[in-house]
Amino acid sequence: MFSPYSLFAIGYSLFNEIVKFLIAGLGNIGDEYVDTRHNIGFTVLDALAGSSGIAFGQDRLAYKAEYRFKGKTFVLIKPVTFMNLSGKAINYWLQAEKIPLEHLLVITDDLALPFGAIRIKANGSDGGHNGLKSIQEILNTSAYARLRFGVGNDFAKGRQVEYVLGQWTPEEQKVLVPRIEQAVEAIKAFGTIGIDRCMNVYNNK
């Protein structure tokens, strides 16, 4: 039978249990990929870190930072595995941090969405995206949340790779900052109000 003290200790421990979320921004490492459309996942996480006064450090398979907000811990990772092996880093950090799959959010570029549009989904197909394909193959499921950031599809036939690996135009850069800020707020909402309410709020903006 538990003593009053031990019951208090158990209750205190449960109350103070850290709730963690893994936020994975997809992209490629290397100077040649900085500020490219395909690296919007990195860019969004850099914006979150910069506005919060935290810095990324190199760790196992990823650059990693921790952000705390409203009693929640957001483990931010930018995989260094290159896009096609993104799932390897995500799987490692889910296990290392003991984070459940429902607390995973992946930020990725999306050609099917107009530039600057943000769509949050609780699951879905890889849509031909190599990063999402890697995640699905390694986790053996597509039931994880993703924040899709629209990069548009203003490219000639056969120039898709050149387009996604290209940098933003000056016109796009003028609009990009507030849309990135919107994505940062959506990440915080994912961890505080839940995926369903997050979708209701941000998918309509």
Q: Which residues are catalytic?
A: 38
Q: Using alpha carbons, select from 20, 12, 40, 15 the residue that is nearest to residue 146.
A: 40
The residue type found at 108 is T
Q: Using alpha carbons, select from 43, 191, 40, 198 the residue that is nearest to residue 119.
A: 198
Query: Which tokens go with 29?
Result: 């490492």
Q: Which helix (H) or strand (E) holds 136?
A: helix 130-139
Query: Which tokens go with 154?
Result: 């203003």
Instruction: Return the ∠ at Cα 171 (arms to 166 and 176), rounded to 5°.
Output: 75
Residue 147 CB coordination number (10 Å): 24
- Residue 88, judged by CB atoms within 10 A of its CB (0-12, 13-18, 19+), counts as middle
Query: Which tokens go with 179?
Result: 């849309």
